[in-house]
Amino acid sequence: MDAKQICLLINDEIPKEKLFSAEKREVHPDCNTSWRISPEPFWISQKQLRWFEELGPHLLSFYRACNLLYSQSTRGIQPTWVSEYLDIGKPENVIQYGRMNRFKSQLPGVIRPDILPTTDDTNVITELDSIPGFIGGTGCLSRLYAKLGYPIIGGKDGMVNGFAEMIRSLAKKDDVKLAIVVSDESEDYRPEMLWLANALCDAGLPTATVKPHEVIFTEDGISVQSENGGMDVDVVYRFYELFDLPNIPKTELIFYGAKKRTVLMTPPPKAYLEEKLCFALFYHPALQTFWKRQLGKKAYPFLQEIIPQTWILDPRPLPPHAVIPNLAIDDVPVSDWRQLSTITQKQRELVLKPSGFSEFSWGSRGVKIGHDLPTEEWLAAIENGLKSFEKTPYILQEFHTAMRVRMQYYDFDAQDMQEMPSRPLLRPYYFVVGDTVKLGGIQAAVCPADKKILHGMVDSIIVPCALRG
């Protein structure tokens, strides 16, 4: 088959997989995806694959260290301002959920970083997601491209098998039944989670994707209605954000079941592990001894190379002799955030975004690129970040430019292949299995080169990654 035939074949297979709701798309009526279709995957080298395989265990170590840092901060072993930062804007019930002994040592079962391969041949991790979307989407695309003979990272079923291994490891048994609970806020992802449930059933792990109100609670446990009738549930996969709890029915019953150990829940309800400001804590001078000790001689320098400098936009005034660590403009240390409002467009290669626990903290919502904004809008973004501190803290990060690549896609309007100058965002999916992680697959969102914010937009090419050579 030629490139055009491959793209049309993939387009024909997507509706058979029931991966998306067509009515939510703003694309050509003949296109069955919400992205551009490429005839081939995104290629990575053996060296890059080794890097991704090394990254996973280091990110698990980072999560463990963040979990310990928060716990020790609440007990006064580490500075109390650490947990105060991580708890800002959260209602008391969310804070208490995260501190329950039941969840004390639990970490997210899925780890997905956003990785920018940069112009200077390095990789930068812009953020971590512990409730990532497109698990089913990446699994489906991995199967489709693997059928075409491409050597997909993780293999054709790496995503499905990795997810299944994570659930079985959490339950500490092979005979386990799973409910994937998807909220209305995450409705766009329901079709791919239905796909994942069907794939898991085929792999021998009975699974149902349900809405929160469809969960049935008793003192003995939790059950759901599946296509095959009622099913008692051993594990609940929480596919909803903690900021949305007031809008989600039966969440208290699910938490009650998890507390009483009648059901397991993943990811654990630890809002502090979903905060982007953890990257700022990683660079805080007062915490360097902690990070070096907990991460060790391999993970600490590895993460230092890939985590961009990050700061918490804290509006509280500093004493006259103090400065914001590692932040300077033309070698002049910054001691007041409003100094950033007067810098030139060239100087403000910075990213401003909400840290977490907000409807604006996922899907690239709320992200502002300093050198992409007029001065007035940049000033307004800084002021908004400072004013939002007590409810939703914002972080500031160094901006890094992704490398340029060229990829083909099928243009439904022109009915022919096109080549697009692009910048890639790579998203590996790691599944926690026991004390280690398994790389299930890597998704590439390859965006038009003129876009500053890279994400799974309609104009992007989305494909799985494959090993070149």
Note the helical H segments in 124-250. 135-147, 158-171, 190-202
Residue owning tokens 């930062």: 85
pLDDT, tens digit, 9 for 90 and up, residues 9-36: 999 999 888 886 544 457 888 999 989 9
Rounded Cα–Cα distance for residues 351 and 373 (Å): 11
Q: For residue 20, is it within any domain?
A: no
Rounded Cα–Cα distance for residues 286 and 114 (Å): 27
> In sequence order, which residues have a C-beta less than 8 Å from that of residue 45 and are 6 or more positions away?
467, 468, 469
> In sequence order, which residues have a C-beta less than 8 Å from that of residue 460 and are 6 or more positions away?
35, 36, 445, 446, 447, 448, 454
Rounded Cα–Cα distance for residues 82 and 193 (Å): 35
pTM for the full predicted model: 0.96
pLDDT, tens digit, 9 for 90 and up, residues 242-298: 999 999 999 889 998 998 899 999 999 999 999 999 999 999 999 999 999 999 999
pLDDT, tens digit, 9 for 90 and up, residues 110-162: 999 999 999 777 899 999 999 999 999 999 999 999 999 999 999 999 999 99
Q: For residue 392, is it within any domain?
A: yes
**Residue 436 — φ and ψ, nearest 5°?**
-135, -175
Q: For residue 29, is it within any domain?
A: no
Residue owning tokens 């995260």: 98
Q: For residue 321, is it within any domain?
A: yes
Query: With contact defined as beta carbons under 8 Å apart, do 182 and 51 qualify?
Result: no
Rounded Cα–Cα distance for residues 365 and 57 (Å): 29
- Strands 264-266 and 235-239 come out as parallel
Compute how many other C-beta atoms are within 10 angstroms of the C-beta atom of residue 343. 17
Determine the pLDDT at residue 434.
Answer: 94
pLDDT, tens digit, 9 for 90 and up, residues 72-103: 999 999 999 999 999 999 999 999 999 999 89
pLDDT at 317 over 80: yes
DSSP state string for 414-465 = TTEEEEEEEEEEEEEEEEEETTEEEEEEEEEEEEETT-SS-SS-TTSEEEEE
**Residue 359 — φ and ψ, nearest 5°?**
-65, -15
Q: State the amino acid at position 429 in one-letter form.
A: Y
Helical pair 3-17 and 135-147, crossing angle rounded to 10 deg: 130
Determine the pLDDT at residue 362.
Answer: 66
Residue owning tokens 């067509």: 22
* Dihedral, CA of residue 363, residue 369, residue 373 and residue 378, to nearest 10: 100
Structure tokens given for 91: 């209602």
Query: With contact defined as beta carbons under 8 Å apart, do 67 and 73 qualify?
Result: no
Q: What percent of the chain has pLDDT over 70?
A: 97
Q: For residue 231, is it within any domain?
A: no
Structure tokens given for 372: 């992409």
- For residue 141, the SS3 value is helix
Query: With contact defined as beta carbons under 8 Å apart, do 104 and 311 qualify?
Result: no
- Give the confidence band of 361 by pLDDT, cuts at 50, 70, 90: low
Rounded Cα–Cα distance for residues 358 and 360 (Å): 5
pLDDT, tens digit, 9 for 90 and up, residues 366-421: 899 989 999 999 999 999 999 999 999 999 999 999 999 999 999 999 999 999 99
pLDDT at 163 over 90: yes
Residue 439, strand partner residues: 430
Rounded Cα–Cα distance for residues 443 and 331 (Å): 39
DSSP summary character for residue 142: H
Q: For residue 317, is it within any domain?
A: yes
SS3 content of the chain, % helix, strand, coil (to 5): 40, 25, 35
- Average of pLDDT values for 220-232? 84
Query: With contact defined as beta carbons under 8 Å apart, do 270 and 103 qualify?
Result: yes
Count structural domains, the chain.
Answer: 1
Query: With contact defined as beta carbons under 8 Å apart, do 193 and 187 qualify?
Result: no
- Average of pLDDT values for 187-195? 93
Q: For residue 215, is it within any domain?
A: no
Q: For residue 345, is it within any domain?
A: yes
* Domain ranges, residue 359: 309-398
